[in-house]
């Protein structure tokens, strides 16, 4: 009898330990869930998503020379300059479509880019010019793809506006062209 009583006592301890461990695990999970970002209540903007520049996209690039060759050949191409007004007015590619949405990291800047989408329809390649040809252009491309622009049309100007060192193809004249 003593052996049976001892087995029952040990099983009770094991069950209590298992129950305690389960409760601790559930409490830990609920604390972790409570510490994550949530969507603000009542009409606020949703919590920011992962950085679009880190999206799993096969980024396509055009060098300054390739872009200049397209312009020299008068190929149909849309040069979308996403840099802020001050950078754009210091020097930009003539005829670029200025959509000041750089660095496309807020809902407001995404809206500026979204407003331009109707002017980007068609089959012409779109070369995105941001400051340095990195995250701003990548965010713009990721956003434009979400808006239905075909990925094969979207290119990043390698080096961005900082890398455009072709004086005869740089202007300070405000000549933003809406693509037709």
Mean pLDDT of 111-139: 94
Comparison of pLDDT for 121 and 168, the residue scoring more? 121
Are 8 and 93 found together in one domain? Answer: no
Task: Give dist(CA 180, CA 18) in Å, integer.
Answer: 69
Are 95 and 30 found together in one domain? Answer: no
Is pLDDT above 90 for 16?
A: no
How many angstroms separate the Cα of 92 from the Cα of each of 35, 69, 118? 45, 16, 22
Are 24 and 59 found together in one domain? Answer: no
Q: Residue 29's domain spans which residues? A: 1-34
- Do the bridges between strand 78-81 and strand 97-98 make them parallel or antiparallel, or are there none, so unpaired? parallel
Are 63 and 29 found together in one domain? Answer: no
Are 104 and 16 found together in one domain? Answer: no
Are 57 and 30 found together in one domain? Answer: no
Task: Give dist(CA 107, CA 44) in Å, integer.
Answer: 11
CATH of the domain at 161: 3.40.250.10
Comparison of pLDDT for 113 and 54, the residue scoring more? 113
Apex 115 CA angle, 172 and 89, nearest 5: 10
27-62 tens-digit pLDDT: 444 444 443 333 333 333 333 445 665 656 789 999
Is pLDDT above 70 for 103?
A: yes
What pLDDT band is residue 171 in, cutting at 50, 70 and 90? confident
Per-residue model confidence (pLDDT) at position 120? 96
Q: Rg of the chain over CA atoms, in angstroms?
A: 27
Task: Give dist(CA 27, CA 21) in Å, integer.
Answer: 10
Lowest mean pLDDT across 22-26, 30-34, 119-123: 30-34
Q: Is the dihedral of CA 49, 104, 74, 166 positive or negative?
A: negative
How many angstroms separate the Cα of 23 from the Cα of each of 11, 18, 177? 18, 9, 64
Comparison of pLDDT for 164 and 27, the residue scoring more? 164
Are 162 and 102 found together in one domain? Answer: yes
Mean pLDDT of 15-20: 58
Are 22 and 63 found together in one domain? Answer: no
Are 9 and 79 found together in one domain? Answer: no
Are 81 and 159 found together in one domain? Answer: yes
Task: Give dist(CA 47, CA 38) in Å, integer.
Answer: 6
Are 95 and 129 found together in one domain? Answer: yes
Are 6 and 76 found together in one domain? Answer: no
Is pLDDT above 70 for 123?
A: yes
CB distance 100 to 83 below 8 Å: yes
Tokens matching residue 138: 């990548």
**106: in domain:** yes
Comparison of pLDDT for 175 and 83, the residue scoring more? 83
**178: in domain:** no
Comparison of pLDDT for 135 and 22, the residue scoring more? 135
Average pLDDT in the chain: 78
Per-residue model confidence (pLDDT) at position 109? 92
Per-residue model confidence (pLDDT) at position 37? 36
**45: in domain:** no
**90: in domain:** yes
Domain count, the chain: 2
């Amino acid at each position: 009898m003593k052996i049976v009583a001892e087995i029952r006592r040990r099983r009770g301890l094991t069950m209590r330990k298992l129950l305690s461990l389960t409760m601790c695990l559930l409490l830990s999970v609920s604390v972790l869930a409570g510490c994550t970002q949530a969507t603000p209540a009542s009409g606020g903007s949703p919590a920011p998503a992962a950085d679009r520049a880190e999206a799993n996209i096969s980024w396509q690039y055009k060098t300054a020379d390739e872009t200049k060759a397209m312009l020299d050949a008068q190929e149909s191409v849309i040069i979308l300059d996403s840099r802020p007004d001050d950078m754009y007015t210091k020097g930009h590619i003539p005829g670029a479509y200025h959509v000041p949405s750089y660095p496309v990291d807020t809902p407001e800047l995404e809206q500026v880019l979204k407003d331009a989408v109707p002017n980007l329809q068609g089959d012409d390649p779109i070369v995105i010019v941001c400051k340095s040809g990195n995250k701003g252009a990548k965010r713009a491309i990721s956003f434009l793809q979400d808006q239905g622009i075909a990925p094969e049309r979207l290119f990043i100007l390698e080096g961005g506006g900082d890398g455009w060192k072709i004086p005869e193809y740089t202007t300070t004249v405000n000549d933003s062209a809406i693509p037709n």
